[in-house]
Amino acid sequence: MYSKKIFSVLVALLALMVLVGCVGKGGSSRDFTSSDPIGESTSTRDARVSSSAENFDIAPVKTCDFSDIVLSDDFYVYAAGGYSGLNQNIQIDQSGHQATEFTLFINVADKPVVLILSAYEPSIWQIKFTQETKISAAYLSGYHKQIITGLPEETNLLNATDVSYCNSRFIVSQDRLSALNPLSKSLFGKSVDMVYFAKQGLITIGSKIDIDEYISFKAKPTSFFHDKTKPLAGPMGIQDAVNKKILRRATKDDYKPIYEYLRKDNPSVHDDSPTYYVPHNAYVIEKEFTLPAGLYGAHSVNLILKEGVPFPSGELGHSCLFDLNTYKTHGATCHF
């Protein structure tokens, strides 16, 4: 009986030692990281993280921090980003948001550089640097998918938006500056040296030089990352639907039944000739349609859903839709 009790105690002690050993591997507590997914082996996780980076010819980091790489003793930490970059006419993920693009120019010769880059909108980061610039590591995060291209081959990259078990939604912004240094210390062991906010999608780190002096490593054009299962964004998406005869330009004849319906309870006016105003950017939806992303502000449209055609998928943005199946309007900007 005693031998069974001793055996049980030994088993419990052994399990405790294994648990402590696993916790110890993680190092100190990090507020901006998360543990490995339950049930996923290290080899499976490493293969998945590597595959997320292999198309960009850079060295993938296999954890949610940079503890598995060796950085030099002295380097700069630069954080850069914003809500969005320069609008692009494509989508790169399943968010339904129009993609944006950042172009980052780096000219720093005296020390290696590590980067913290982030944005709210799905974005493509084009990296350009000088021959003398050494980019040791880059951390990429954002509320939506982020893609980076052009980094030097030897750069260690952690794209948190590609790894499900990383906390990926940190954004470099004015109202989150207080969180930047804790994040930087958790990633690189030191505070941020300088923060840069994008202007028209452009960011320059270091002294400005002639644009021809910057280089990139196997950079891919923005169009390469277009999710072709999604329509083009903004006005180009609308024009593409017109070309495919999914949409057609609306006329006064299309708006006549709408105005007659809306005015049916109004009193008659003597010698009144009814007018049928056609709004700016007005189209008739002729077939099943997916609304393109980015229909906001000047890119918004006015739509008439033809009778018998299903309601479109996607987001209206600032656009207005009149449904001839129900004679109801959809959209916050509808005014008749």
How much is the pLDDT for 36? 29
Q: Sheet harboring 113-119: ordered strands across?
A: 59-60, 156-159, 135-142, 113-119, 76-82, 194-197
Q: Are 204 and 197 in contact (CB under 8 A)?
A: no
Per-residue pLDDT of the chain (336 residues; tens, 9 = 90+): 444 444 454 444 444 443 334 333 333 333 322 322 223 333 333 333 333 333 445 555 556 778 778 888 899 999 999 999 999 988 898 787 889 999 999 999 999 999 999 999 999 999 999 999 999 999 999 999 999 999 999 999 999 988 776 767 888 888 889 999 999 999 999 999 999 999 999 999 999 999 999 999 999 998 899 888 887 888 889 999 999 999 999 999 999 999 888 888 888 887 667 778 888 899 999 999 999 988 988 889 999 999 999 999 999 999 999 999 999 999 988 876
Q: Which whole-number Å values give the CA distances from 311 to 109, 140, 243, 295, in the listed order? A: 56, 37, 20, 17
How much is the pLDDT for 39? 30
How much is the pLDDT for 60? 57
Alpha helices in the chain (DSSP H): 2-25, 42-53, 180-188, 234-243, 252-262
How much is the pLDDT for 58? 58
Q: Which whole-number Å values give the CA distances from 152 to 74, 137, 143, 215, in the listed order? A: 19, 10, 25, 9
Residues making up the chain, counted from first to last: 336
Compute and round to an integer the Cα radius of gyration of the chain: 27
Q: What tens digit of pLDDT does each residue of 124-176 get?
A: 999 999 999 999 999 999 999 999 999 999 999 999 988 776 767 888 888 88
Cβ-Cβ contacts under 8 Å for 257 (sequence gap 6 or more): 324
DSSP 218-253: S---GGGG--TTSPPPHHHHHHHHHHTTSEEE--HH
- Which token pair is 19? 């648990």
DSSP 99: P
Phi, psi of 246 (to 5 degrees): -80, -35
